[in-house]
Structures are given as C-alpha cells and as structure tokens.
Structure 1
Amino acid sequence: MELKDLFKSKVSVFKADLKTKEEVINFLVDKLSSEKMIANKKTFKDAILKRESEASTGMGDGIGIPHAINNTVKEPCIAFVSLKSPIDWQSLDNKPVDLIFMIATNDEKGEAHLGALADLSKFLMKPEFQEALRKAKTFKDLSKAFDNKVETKKVEAKNGKYDVIGITACPTGIAHTYLAEEKLIEYATELGLSVKIETQGRRGTENKLTQEDVDNAKVIILAHDKNLQGMGRFGGKQVIDTTTKDAIFNGKQLIQEFGKTEKTTTAKAVSSKDDEVSDDFSLKKFAQVKGNLLAGVSRMLPFVVAGGIILGIGFLIDFAAGNGNVPGMTGATFDYWFNNIYDKTKVDVLTEWTNWWMGNFGTHSEVAGWFSAIGKTGMMMMVPVLAAYISYTIVGPQGLMPGFIAGILADGTGGFAYAGDKFGWSGLWTRLIPADIPMQSGFIGGMVGAYVAALIVFGLTIGFKKFKKSFHGVRDIVLIPVLSLLGISLAMFALNIPLGYTMYGLQQFLKLLADQNLLILLGAILGLMMCIDMGGPINKIAYVTGTLSVSGGLGNDPLITVTMAAAMAGGMIPPLGIALCTVTFRKAWTTKEKDSAKANWLMGAFFISEGAIPFMVTDPKRISVSAMAGGTITGLIVGGCKITLGAPHGGIAVFPLLKSGLLGTSPEQMNSGAAIGLGVGLYILAIVVGTLVMATILGFWKTYDIKKGKLVIAN
C-alpha cells in the first residue's frame, strides 16, 4: 500500500474556514462518520481527544496530526484539511497550524497501512511537500504531491561503523516515533555524519541496533516518550536521554553538543533479564491475540508443511507397493499380529486383521515406513511448537519451555501422560482418571495452554523481580523454570478433564445418529465438524468417531463406515479449498500465502487437514465459515450416496477401498466392482463439489472485503 492510498477524496477538504482546534476535530470526525469510515463517532472522537490530552499532536512547521488507534475504525485512512488561516494547536514549536492530518486506524489491517503511515513523516518534514499542500486546491493536487520521491541521502558508514545512532519511540508508535527518526537522520546527514536510528513503533522494532553499532558510535541519542526495550546494550555508555520533541526540534544541537553538556549522561547497566521486565512486559501483550497466534503459526508452519508432504510420500509408496489391498491371512506379518496385537476376545478375526492393516497404512513397506517416520515426527511437533512460540511472544524466553510442555500435554505427544496403555511409562496421567475418557485437546488446547503458561511466567517474573542480582541465576535457571513447569502441568491436567468430557459427550451423540441410520444427517454433521477447527478437538471427535466405525466400535452395520468416509472427505476440504481459491482468486491472496498454499494440494489429497491451520489462524472467520459450508455439502453427498470406507486414514491412497451401498448392502453387493466403482466416483464428486463451494465462498468474500477496504492484501 502506498501512502497516498490512505487519503480519500471524500474526506479531503481544501482552504476550510475553521477557527479553532475543536472545530477542526469535530469537522474531520463528522466527515469520517458521514462517509462510514468509522462505526461510532463518539467513541472515535473520545479516542482523538484522549490522545490530544496526553501531548500535543502539533508537529511544528504548521502541521497537526491528531490520531487514534481504535476498533471503531472500519476503513483505515487519513482525513485531511488545509485552512484559510492558521489556528493555535499548542504545537511543539509554539506556531499555529494550517495543515491537519487526522489518522484513523485500527489493529486489524496488518503491516500495509502502518508502513504507509510511517512514511508520512518523511514527506511532512520536507518544505517542498508542505508548500505543495498549501497550494493544493483539489484532491488531484494532493495526490500529485505524493508522486515526488522523498529520499534523504545518507552518509555512508565507514567499515560498518556509524557516527550517530539512536532510538525513537512514542506511546502510540505512529507519528512522533517516525518524525523523530527522520529528523535525526536529516540533522546527522547535514553535519556530514553517518547515522542509524532504531524505531520502536507500532510495527515493532525496526532497523535494530547491534551491540557493535553501540560500541562504535560517537553519538548516542535516545529520544522516547515511553520505556525502551533493549537498554542492556547501552550499559556504561555516554548517551543523551531525551524526548521525541527535543529530537525533532533540537536534534542538530544535541548531536553537535554531545558529551559537552549536562544532557549527556551515563546509561545504567541493565541485565538482559531485567530488560525483559520493561514497559512491553505487561498484560497488554496478552491482548495482542492475533499477533501472538501469528508468531506461533509462523514457527509451526514448517513442521506442518514438511511433515505433511513427507508423510504423503510414505502413503504413496505404500500404495504403489500394493499395500492398499489387505493381504491374505497368512505369513509372518499375520503371525506377529495374531500373537502380539490381536484382541482374542473379538470374534471376527478377518475384520480385526483388516482394520489393523489399513490403520497402519504407510508403514508396511520398509521404504514407506522410513518416510512416514519422518513425516509423523514432524507433524507430532506441530502443537508443541505452536504453543511454545505463542508463549514466547508474550513473555519472552522464559515462556518457551512451559509453552512447549502445554502443547505436548494438550496433544498427548509421546504418550507419557495420556495413552491407551497404562503400563510402564505409557499413560501415567491416565491412571489417575476414573474413566476411560479422551483427554487430548489438540491445537486449541495448545493455544489456551500457551496463554496459561505465559500468565504463570508473567506472575513469577513480576513476583521475583526484586531478587538481588546475586540470585538472578537461581531465579532464571531454577526457580522460574521449575515452578512454571509444575504450574502449567497442573493447569493442563485440570483443563483437559472438562474438555475430555465434552469430547466424550459429542462422540456419544454421533454414535446415536449412526445407530439410528441417519446417514445423511450424520454425514453432514461429520463434514461440518471436520472443518470447524482443522485438527482441533471438534475435528478430532469426528475423526475418532470415524475410526470407531472402522474398528467396530459403532456396531456391525455394513453402512456404519459411512462415518469414516464422511469424516475423511470433510477433512480434505479445508486444505484443498484454500489451494483452489489461491489459484482462482489470485488477487485475494498475498504472494507468500499463494506459495504456502501449493503444499495444500498434496496435504489435502492425503487427508492432512492441518494444512489449513496457518490460514485459519490469520483469517478465522472467512476460512472457517467457507470450509464449514464446503464440508457440510461434501458430508451430505457422502451420507446420501451411502459411501463406506474401511480405512481410517490415507486420503487418495485408500480410494480403492471405497464402496457405495446404493446398489444394496449385502456382502456380495457391497464387494462388487460396481459398488466399488460407484463409491470411488461419487466420493471424488463429493470432494470436488465441497472444494468448489469453499473456494467460491472464500474467494468472493475476500474480494468483496478488499473492495470495501475491510481487507488489505500486502505483498
């Protein structure tokens, strides 16, 4: 997004006859409200006035920038007005203003508009740009003023060593932060000095100073109106610690007089751990839900994509080797299964043998098993890594370990805490539970656990903040890790119990539908459930119900495995729908998203729903709703066509096992070539229709919101 794209003709006014600051604010707020760019005029105005009460937004040089970050803003934009006569704005330079930019933004539109707003300072500091705006009579004149590139020619650093370095930061991280940065660069360049300025603004820390930069600098200026991160870098160094206002108007003098006036002080030594307990180590970090989730997903994504693709290779190899067909009940493999695995209380040996063989599809060939082991290991780390980095993003390095443990316990990874076997090191926590209830909560439990882990670390860190320096090692290496591990383990043990009961209840409801032979309704419900949380607890309930039908846990009706067929088809829709949408609606996706979605073709084909999780986390409403629509329709077709599946996994690799009961349900009819061919054909149709439905809904929805300004695609 370019800066000029934030200016709109309907909220740009030239040579207005307004007499006071209050009139200007009311005028611009009314404009934004009448053009439906803000949802609540009073709420937005209150936010503007609150910001004005904290410090003047009069930047100097006749410019005022009232601004607010508020969720009532529907379309981020800049309302502009030039005045016939300058008015008082309590500006930093005590001069009246005649150019006012009202910035209306929110926290929902990503980096694109924040980057554009940061660029505004580069224009506003240029006299020629100010003059062009004062002469502007139409919106075309305003837009044309932005066509001239604004670049400050910096002095090159010698051997990577900068003469002047600094940090700028203001409370909202939009205006003063970048204005101070631009002015310090301008002043240093004017003096013939090389310069590097770190900004700690709304977009996070940018142009970060290294310890080498700090050690080699001749001048260090810290211009800020809030606490700074990373002060440990400056311990014992001579610095000028001042405000953004001082840097904007007196920056040249600060540079020239560095070390010669009382403004130059020695920065206190601060440990890296104390540095973490700063202004940004606060409860505010917990409210940044989207950013926290994105941080976790970005670290999780390689595990999902790489693990899923390699697991799919294992399935392909097993299928090519002919292992999609159940072998006869002879040979060493059968003997091992019969003597070591077979439940001898069961009567139907053939069914049990078939279920075991297909349940372990991807492992029968030695080569397939080699790939499947890699894929399963990668996929196994998905939830723990997601939870670990969500927690890490909120509270820093101390949150990494308890967050990781929260993910492991939520997903049951490793089987130490939760497992069917209750012997030795397997299922140790399961022995404490009075009933055989599923306890895994999937990636949703991982996300909840990550927040709990972060809250525990936050409380411990604040509680131990006053420890003497000599005890910091014990605090950081022993006390916080041990207590946070115990705390998150106890929390997850408690959280997984109600979630386990919830899963159990839903599973019993689905079993009732199957028992009543409500196949169409059952198929629709399972298709819907598989798409609600893409690998989360609801998805897992539907899938576990499907596997129960394969193992005989839902009865011996010949059509009961419609449950498994509907669950697998529904689970294939989210990744396939996203992949198709990125091809058919290319302008609605970023380049990075389109590249990532290519892997979803293979993941969807092999029933790896988790390929949709990274996309759902960044856009939960559109992805979930469109996926649920596609999954429901797919499930309806599968249930209505009485398509059965005797394998619990595999995607396209197990399509030869599909059958349709439309021609009859006797063993001879179900095992005929016609039933198999009909089952495969109708199953493919169900998946194609569901994928098209999801891709179409998602694509048109995103396109509509892009046109309305509700969604910004930043490449």
Structure 2
Amino acid sequence: MELKDLFGKQISFFDVDLNSKEEVIDFLSNKLQEEKYIKSVEDFKAAVYKRESEGSTGVGDGIGIPHVLNPTVQKSAIAFARLKNKVDWQSLDDQPVDLVFMIMTNGKDGNEHLTALADLSGFLMKSEVQKKLRSSKSIKDIESAFTKSEKKVEVSTKAGSYDVIGITACPTGIAHTYMAQEKLEEYAKAKGLTVKIETQGRRGIENRLTQEDIDNAKVIILAHDKALEGLSRLNGKKVIDTNTKEAIFKGDQLIEKYKKGEGLTEIKASADSSSESSEFTMRKFLDFKGNLLGGISRMLPFVVAGGIILGIAFLIDFAAGNGEAGGDFGTVNPAAGWFAAIGKTSMAMMVPILGAFIAYSIVGTQGLMPGMVAGLFSSNIMGFAYSGDETGWNGLWGRLLSDSLKGTESGFIGAIVGGYLAALLVVGWSKAMVKFPKGLQGARDIVFIPVISLLSISLTMFVINIPLGFLMGGISKGIEALAQLNLLWLVSILIGFMMCVDMGGPINKIAYSLGNLAVGSKLVTDVTSQGYADQTIIMASAMLAGMLPPLMIAISTIIFPRAWTAKDRDAAKANWLMGACFVSEGAIPFMVKDPKRVAVSAMIGGALIGGLVGALKIKLLASHGGVFVFPLLNSALIGEGAMTGGSIALGAGGATIILLGASFLSGFILGVWRTADIKTGKLILDSTNGVKESILAKIEAVKNNSKIENKDVRLNTLNSKLTQYGEFEAELVTKQKAYQAILAEKQKAKESRKANK
C-alpha cells in the first residue's frame, strides 16, 4: 500500500474557510463520521485532544498532522484540509498552519498502513511536496504529490562505521518518530557524515543499532518524547538527550554541539531496559484472545487438511466393503490406510502446534520449541512420557508416579496453559541471562536459553499434567457411568452440547474422544448391556454436532447479512466446506469475536442434534469424515442394529435432516440475537457490513450501463434504499451512544458503591 492510497475524495477538502484549530478538528471529525471512517465523533475528538495535550502536532512549515490511534477508527486513512486562512496550531516553529493532515488508525489494519503513514513524514519534509499541496485543487493533485517517483538510493556504508547514530520515538509512533529520523539523516548527510537512525515506532524497532554501531559512532543523539527501549546498550556512552522537535528543527546544531562536547549526558540504564529483554513485554501476556487466535490460526490448516484426507480414507474403506471394521475402519484397505496415515499425522499435530504458536505470539521464535514440547506432553502422541506399557522407551514419566497420580493426557487445556508457561519461562530466563558477557551472547540465545527452557517447561508439564489430566479424565468417567446405565440418549444430548461449547477446544475434544472410545467398543465394556451395542450413537452425535458450528455461521451470514461485517461474510464461505468435513474449528474465529452469542446459539443446536440422534438411535462406526462417511450412518430402530438398506436410509437421511434443521435454527437464533443487539447499541460491528458499499456499487453499475431500461426508476429505488440505510445507521449511532452512556453510569455507580464501603 502506498501513502496516496490512504487519501480519499470524500475526506479531502480545499480552501476550507475555518478560523481556529478547534474548528478544523470539529469539521474533520464530523466529516469522518459522515463517511463512516469513525464510529463516534466524541471519542475521536477526545483522542485528538489527548494527543495534542502530549505535544503539538504542528510540525512546522505551516503543516499540522493531528493523529489518532483509537478503536473508534473503523479504517486507517488520512483526511486532508487546505485552509483558506492560516490558523494557530502551537506549532514547533511558532508559525500558523494552512495544511492539515488528520491521520487515523486503530492499530489493527496491518503493517502496510503503518508503513504508509510513516512515509508521510518523509514527504512533508520536502519543499517541492509542500508547494504541490498548496496549489492542489483535487484529490488527484494530492495523490500526485504523494506518489513515489524514484527509489531512494543509499550510499553503501560499512556496518558499524557510522559517524552519526541516533534513536527517535514519539508517543503514538506514527509521525514525529519518522520525521525526526528523516531530518537527522538530512542534516548529517548535508555535513558529509554517514548516519544510521533507529526508530521505535508503531511498526516496532526498525533499523536497530548494533553494539558495533554504538561503539564506533562519533555522534549519538536520542530524540524522543517517550521512554526508549534498550538503553543499556548505550551504558557509559555520552549522548545528546533531547526531544523530536529539537531533532526536526535544530538537528544540525545538535550535531555541532556534540562535536564540541556541549550538553552531553552519560547513559546509566538498568539491565531491564536492554534491547534483549525489551523485546519481551509482559503486556503481550494480557492479550489472551490475540495469543489464542495466534495458536488457533496456525493449527487450523492441520485440522482442515487432515480431516478431509482422513475422510477420504474412510470413504475408500467403505467402498471396499469394510464397513464393519469397527475401530480399525479406515485402515483395513491398504489404499485407505495410506490416506489415513496422512490424515492422522496431520491431526495429531494440532495440540503441539497450538502450544507452540501461543508461545510464539507472546515471545517470538524463542517460544516455538518450548511451546511445542508443552503441546506434545499434553497430547502424549509419542508415548515416551505416558503409556500403559511402561517398558523400553514407553511411559518414561509414568514410572516416576504412583498409580494414584497417573491421570490422562491434558489435551487442549494443557497446550493452552503450557504455551503460556513456556513463554513466561523464556521471558524469565532471557532476563536472568541479560548480563551474559558479550562473547557468549550468541551461545546464550542458541544454546543456554533453549536448553534451560526445554528442561523448565518439561518439569512444569510433568507437574501440571497431573491435575489437568485428572480433570479431563474425571469428565470422561462421568459420561462412561451414564452409558453403563443405558442412558445413552442423555449422554447423546450431553455429547452434542459439549461439541459446541468451545468449537474444537478441550471440552469439544473430551466429547470427541468419548466418541472414539465408543467406535472401538471401549466406552461401554459390558457386552451384556444394550449400551454396549448402541454406544456408537455417541459418535454419531459427536460428529453431527461438531459439524453444526461452522454451518450455523455460514447460514447466519446469508440470512442476516446486515448483522455481519463484509469480511465475516467472506470468511464464512469456507465454513460450508469445513462444516461438511466435520471441522468445528472453522467457527472459532467467529466465536472469539463474539463468544456469548456464537457459543450459546451453537450449544442449543448441538443439544438438539444429540437429543434427536439419541431418539432415532443413529449410530456411526467411523470416527471422522463428515459427509464422506454419511453412508456409514445407520439407525438401530431398523434391522436390529445391522447395516441394512433401511437402517442406512433412516440413519443417513435422518442425520441430514437433523443437521440442516438444527444448523438453520442455531443460525437463525444467532442472527436474530446479533441483529437485536446491534439495534439496541449493545453490539458494534468492528468494520462495515458492506450494505452501503453494495448499494453504491449497484448505483454506479446502473449509471454506467446504457442498455438498462427505466434507468431513472431503478436509480430512484436504489437511492431510496441508500437513504433508508443511512437513516438506519444514524439511528444505530444514537442508540450505541445511549447504551454506552448506560454502561458508564452503571460503572460509575459500581465504583461509587465500592468507595462508600
């Protein structure tokens, strides 16, 4: 994305007759809300003035760049205003402003937006760009001014041999950070000096100074309006410590002052501020949703691909006449076994990958290894740690435990907890080893931290697997007891409900594992009980209920398009395939964004599926496969449980109707619930739902199509719809503000009650 792409015709204004900074901010804020760039004028203006209170955004040369990083921003953009009258902006050079760039972002649009925003500072430092902007008359002139005409050519400099080095940073990390960098580089090069400037902005630390750069530098300038990271790299060095304003307007003087030894400060920073430890921040641990999604997003390909390929194995075995193979179904035919090996291997990696990338999302690459090991010990897929056969290489950990302490695998719960603990251990050991001698720093990152992290997370998992394993095992034992009492219809309801609680999470996996036990005739072991013959009802309930969540999402986005963002509706298209292939995890991204409504709606449908499957005694001999194994569904109500044409017809046909009906019901509940909460202001979409854009696109298409008859009538109808939708959105904004006000009053009353106690 280029900088020019962040400007828009609707939010670019020329020769605007405004007389004060406040009028400019009011004008642009109202226009941005009209064009749906922001949700709330009040919240947006509050964020603008908060940034202004931290230091003027009048950067000099008649330019003001107020900027906002706030959730009320719906999409990153830059509003532009060329003023008819210059206004006071308390600028850094004390000159009035006639060019205003209102930068807005919510911090979630990706690095390409941040890169484009950062490029603005570089452009605005150039006199020729300023001249173009002051003579601009349309958005095309703006885009022309901000179009890169040539690539920046850098003179090759030997690493560690820069004359001038520095670090720049400002509170929001968007504008002044990069303007100060640009000007310091310009001043240094004008003096014939080589230069390297590190920036600590919204894109993170870029152009990082190495220890060699620092040791060999002749001039060191720190230009910042917030605390810098990694200052201990400069311990003992003399620096000029100043702000971004000084760097932008007096950078040449700062360089000369340093050469004369004037105004220098010696750095004495604590070890905790070193560059090595500053990369790890405890704030990352608080982003639970982001960390969990970081693991789930990497895990999903293993689930989706593995599930589909495993379904192919079941289909081949069924076609080969091995439908009665029980727990070995999918592996009897050699060709089926080949596909089954691929599918099982891929799906076995789900839990380790989850643990690995939860840790990775918090601490980066150092967390991958201990996070994956935590997942491996949680899932016990290799059998080294725990195994019923404790001989040779099997069950090595189990031999250290008494029988009373041997639980079962901790599964997804263990991977989530283990991923977090692995990250915490990496942070702890990194901080503990921050004072390593310079010559051993490479070995520290490659050898010492990985080895100690591995031992630490292994010991941790050895301990926590005991309580977590018993938690998982206790739930399983309770359901087994119900099955032994021939209450399979109740178990079926519970299984259907559990499959939809967390969409592939630990509770879902407990239910699914019970289904697997049933397929192998290991859930109900009393061959004389009816529960023994009918226990595969549980597998049918688990699979059908597990197919519901993604199908529910897909159906809801079609029936209630206004209740979902355009991005959600596009993502939901994949859920048709995921639901058909029994990949419940396809619903997880939607549940993370809207946990209450998605989970409750799915649980209602899951319980309904479980009840109806139990009533019709629909059984399934395959443990996975989705629609690929529907021919294996049969009903015990016909043919005394045998795989006959009638029992298969009732089983497969009944299952299809039950699944589609329950999915429609859950999707309808979800859509109605979201729509009602949107209308009352309780739910705010995180981006556009695409309705307005769709109507505008249709209007444009009608205008450009000369073959359409009654064009004026169609345009009037579309414009009427556009007006109605505009009124609907305006009403939503009012209701959202009212609801937020109610919440604020409740919070205020709650705090008042606490204060009075």
Query: 1:440/1:29 Cα in 2 relative to 1: closer, same or farther (>3 Å)?
Result: same
CA contact (8 A) 1:387 1:449 kept: yes
Partner of 1:441: 411
Amino acid at match of 1:529: M
Answering whether residue 642 of structure 2 is matched by residue 648 of structure 1, we say: no
Distance in 2 between residues matched to 1:151 and 1:582, nearest whole Å: 39
Measured at CA, do residues 77 and 314 of structure 1 come closer, stay the same or move farther in structure 2, by a change above 3 Å?
same
Tell me the SS of whatever aligns to 2:59.
strand
**Alpha-carbon distance in 1 for matches of 2:425, 2:9:** 41
Aligned to 2:282: 283
C-alpha spacing 1:568/1:304, structure 2 compared with 1 (3 Å): closer
Partner amino acid for 1:588? Answer: A
Q: Deviations over 1:659-708 (max 9, x none)?
A: 235xx47727x654322211111112333445556777889979x89x97
| Contact map agreement 1:559 1:665 (CA 8 A) in 2 | no
Letter in 1 for 2:328: N
Partner of 2:613: 638
2:514 to 531, 545, 549: 545
Shift of residue 161 of structure 1? 11
Aligned counterparts, 1:509-588, within 5 A: 510=479, 522-550=491-519, 551=521, 553-554=523-524, 556-557=530-531, 559-574=534-549, 588=566
Partners of 1:530 and 1:567 within 8 A in 2: yes
**Residues 552, 121 of structure 1: alpha-carbon distance in 2 compared, 3 angstrom cutoff:** same
Is the 8 Å Cα contact of residues 6 and 113 (structure 1) preserved in structure 2? Answer: no
For 1:173, the equivalent position in structure 2 comes to 173
Quote the residue 1:675 is aligned against. 647
Could you report, residue by residue, the CA deviation over 1:344-379 in whole angstroms, capped at 9, with x for unpaired residues?
A: xxxxxxxxxxxxx33232222233323322332233
Amino acid at match of 1:359: G
Residues 408-467 of structure 1 show CA distances to partners (whole Å, capped at 9, x for unaligned) of: 12222312234444444434445446166433231x432332221111221222122223
Residue 643 (structure 1) shift: 1.9
- 1: distance between equivalents of 2:109 and 2:670? 18
**Is 1:154–2:154 an aligned residue pair?**
no
State the Cα distance separating 1:568 from its structure 2 match.
0.9
Moved more, 611-620 or 460-469: 611-620
Tell me: higher relative CO, structure 1 or 2? Use CA pairs within 8 A at least 6 residues apart.
1
Which AA in structure 2 matches 1:401?
M
User: Which residue is 2:726 aligned to?
Assistant: none
AA matched with 2:687: L
Q: Point out the more displaced range, 559-568 or 125-134.
A: 125-134
1:230-254 CA distance string (max 9 Å, x none): 999999xxx9998654564467999
State the one-letter code of the partner of 2:174.
I
* 1:202-351 alignment runs, 5 A limit: 202-204=202-204, 244-245=244-245, 248-249=248-249, 276-289=275-288, 291-293=290-292, 295-297=294-296, 299-323=298-322, 325-326=323-324
Other-structure match for 1:395: 363
Specify the code of the residue in structure 2 equivalent to 1:457: V
Q: Which residue of 2 aligns with 1:348?
A: none
Q: 1:245/1:628 Cα in 2 relative to 1: closer, same or farther (>3 Å)?
A: farther
Q: How does 1:378-527 map to 2 (within 5 A)?
A: 378-430=346-398, 431-432=401-402, 434=404, 437-442=407-412, 444-469=413-438, 472=441, 475-476=444-445, 479-507=448-476, 510=479, 522-527=491-496
Aligned residues of 1:109 and 1:712 also touching (Cα < 8 A)? no
Report what 1:351 is aligned to: none
Task: Tell me, yes or no, if the aligned pair for 1:33 and 1:41 is still in contact at 8 Å.
Answer: no
Residue 510 of structure 2 aligns to which amino acid in structure 1?
A: I
- Give the TM-score taking structure 2 as reference length: 0.67
Which one of 356, 363, 383 corresponds to residue 331 of structure 2? 363
Distance (Å, rounded) in 1 between the aligned partners of 2:551 and 2:281: 40
Alignment of 1:42-57 (within 5 A): 51-52=51-52, 54-57=54-57
The answer (yes or no) to whether the contact 1:188–1:194 under 8 Å persists in 2 is: yes
Q: 1:262 & 1:440 partners in 2: Cα distance?
A: 63
Task: Summarize deviations over 1:4-59 as a string: whole Å, max 9, x none.
Answer: 469769x999544447x7x98799889999999567968x7776566445443322
For each residue in 1:363-418, what CA deviation from the matched residue of structure 2 results, as whole angstroms up to 9, or x when unmatched? 22233323322332233223223322332343344323222221112222312234
CA distance in 2, matches of 1:592, 1:199: 37
Q: What is the aligned partner in structure 2 of residue 336 from structure 1?
A: none
SS at match of 2:278: coil
Q: Secondary structure at the match of 2:176?
A: helix
Question: Which stretch of structure 1 is more off in the superposition, 428-437 or 154-163?
Answer: 154-163
Aligned to 2:659: 687
Cα pair distance change 1:445/1:121, threshold 3 Å: farther
Q: Distance in 2 between matches of 1:195 and 1:689?
A: 68
Instruction: Give 2:694's aligned residue.
Output: none
Contact 2:317-2:336 at 8 Å conserved across structures:
yes
1:485-521 CA-to-partner distances (Å, cap 9, x unmatched) read: 3332343344444433443454455457657877776
Return 127-136 or 292-301, whichever deviates more: 127-136
Q: Deviations over 1:144-185 (max 9, x none)?
A: 765546123335568999999998654422222344566689
Moved more, 495-504 or 579-588: 579-588
Retained in 2: the 8 A contact 1:157–1:195?
no
> Structure 1, unaligned stretches of length 5 or more?
327-356
| Residues 1:519 and 1:363: Cα distance change in structure 2 (over 3 Å) | closer
1:434 is paired with a residue whose SS is helix
For 1:182 and 1:73, the matched residues in 2 are separated by: 27
Q: Which amino acid aligns with 1:154?
A: K
Aligned residue number for residue 58 of structure 2: 58
Offset of residue 567 of structure 1: 0.5
Rounded Cα–Cα distance in structure 2 between residues aligned with 1:525 and 1:101 = 58
Instruction: Report the more deviating stretch, 84-93 or 673-682.
Output: 84-93
The 8 Å contact of residues 441 and 496 in structure 1, kept in 2 or not, is answered as no
Distance 1:607 1:241 in 2: 60
SS for the counterpart of 1:151 is coil
2:2 maps to 1:3: no
5 Å-filtered alignment, 1:2-41, equals: 2-4=5-7, 14-18=16-20
Report the alpha carbon displacement of residue 539 of structure 1 after superposing the two structures with TM. 0.6
Please tell me the residue identity of whatever aligns with 2:496.
G
Are residues 377 and 180 of structure 1, via their aligned partners in 2, closer, same or farther at CA, if it must alter by over 3 Å?
A: farther
> Which amino acid counterpart does residue 523 of structure 2 have in structure 1?
G
Q: Percent identity?
A: 53
Q: Is this contact kept in 1: 2:157–2:194, CA < 8 A?
A: no
Deviations 1:68-88 (A, max 9, x none): 434576777778878776555
Structure-2 change in CA distance of 1:252 and 1:105 (3 Å)? same
Change (3 A) 1:539 1:98: same
Identify the residue that residue 337 of structure 1 maps to in structure 2: none
Note if contact 2:88-2:96 (Cα within 8 Å) is conserved in structure 1: yes
Distance 1:615 1:708, change over 3 A: closer
> In the alignment, residue 547 of structure 1 is paired with which amino acid?
N
| Preserved CA contact (<8 Å) 2:82 2:134 | yes
The separation in 1 between residues aligned to 2:61 and 2:579, in whole angstroms, is 58
Tell me how far apart the structure 1 counterparts of residues 569 and 257 of structure 2 sit (CA, whole Å).
46
Alignment correspondent of 2:69: 69
Q: Check the 8 A contact 1:562/1:644 in 2, yes or no.
A: yes
- Report SS of the residue matched to 1:277: helix
- Counterpart Cα distance in 1 of 2:442 and 2:37: 55
